[in-house]
Amino acid sequence: MPGTPMKHFIQYCRETGCPFLEQEPLSRHTSFRIGGPAALFLQPTETCQLPGLIEAVRASGLPWTVMGNGSNILASDEGFPGVVIQIGSKFASIALEGETSVRCQAGASLTALSRFAAEHSLTGLEFACGIPGAVGGAVFMNAGAYGGEISQRLVSVVQAVIPKEGKPFLETIPAQNLEFSYRHSKYQNPQSAAVIAETVFCLEKGEKEASLARMEELLKLRREKQPLEFPSAGSAFKRPAGSYASLLIDQCGLKGLRVGDAQISEKHAGFIVNLGNASCREVLELVSQVQKIVWEKAGFCLEPEFRLLAPAAI
């Protein structure tokens, strides 16, 4: 059969009804607003599509990767030469499951999930209302804020398992098997070969107005303290043992440090912001400078919290 692997895979997407975009700028899909074009950008809508998509893209030999809504991603200025599967806004259904449980696809935003819970008089996810990410990404990194972590309310995950041999398949795994710790889950382990598809959260009966008021209070705190007026990937560095990244960066006099249009926020030292036309290269250079100075002056090694978009090693 004539044609390139990419053409064959595009034909598969058409036949299976999976929406896609060709040469789609990743800057449109990352909160940093940075990144060149993905050769093929997939936006699946149904959980049942994932095993087949993954099997087909592996068989094609094309480089590929998976991303959420891009709130914790730094994409290359050159873009991505293969297939990006986005578990994002088209993969974002949320529904009640019983009286106090909520099931949602991994592309649902944490804001949408927390508001859905509050509107149904369920409490326990108010802390997540302003975290700028999707549910899948939140599970991946055990996202948290204001004393809450996603692992505290998660019951189970439906994942697309990618075996070394054989076809990918869907599997439900309980939350206690996900090796949660601070900003970590088993999905970050190199040997993990699975894509988060759906999640189930167990909440408690509460008062709608009280939950909405608490969420507005937390959102106000974010607006006051964080540089939400500029594109960023949220907190740029993980919290090191024994201190806080923002405190160390501030104490080292690095607020406002710039490389091109990438800057350590003058409002909150834990953020790297895009002042307009920052590039991936500029962000990485700024990260390198901050790491070097903080290590030399304070003796702490800072690790970036965002991740680079790279081909899957599975």
Q: Read off the pLDDT of residues 10-20 as tens digits, 9 standing for 90 and up.
A: 999 999 999 99
Q: Which band of pLDDT confidence, cut at 50, 70 and 90, is reported for residue 312? A: low
pLDDT, tens digit, 9 for 90 and up, residues 128-138: 998 888 999 99
Max Cα separation, the chain?
A: 63
| 249 or 305, greater pLDDT | 249
pLDDT, tens digit, 9 for 90 and up, residues 267-301: 999 999 999 999 999 999 999 999 999 999 999 99
Q: In DSSP terms, which residues pair with 194 in a beta bridge?
A: 161
Residue 213, CB-side half-sphere exposure with 13 Å CA sphere:
5
Q: Which band of pLDDT confidence, cut at 50, 70 and 90, is reported for residue 2? A: low
Q: Which band of pLDDT confidence, cut at 50, 70 and 90, is reported for residue 62? A: very high
pLDDT of residue 42: 96
pLDDT of residue 47: 95
Catalytic site positions: 183, 235, 305
pTM of the model: 0.89
Q: Would you say 60 and 9 are in contact if contact means Cβ atoms under 8 Å apart? A: yes
pLDDT at 232 over 50: yes
pLDDT of residue 108: 96
Euclidean distance between CA atoms 62 and 75, whole angstroms: 18
pLDDT of residue 182: 85
pLDDT of residue 314: 44
Mean pLDDT of the chain: 93
pLDDT, tens digit, 9 for 90 and up, residues 161-187: 999 888 999 999 999 999 999 888 999
Residues of the chain with pLDDT > 70, as a percent, come to 98
pLDDT at 266 over 90: yes
Q: Is 63 exposed, middle or buried (0-12, 13-18, 19+ CB in 10 A)?
A: middle
Residues of the chain with pLDDT > 90, as a percent, come to 83
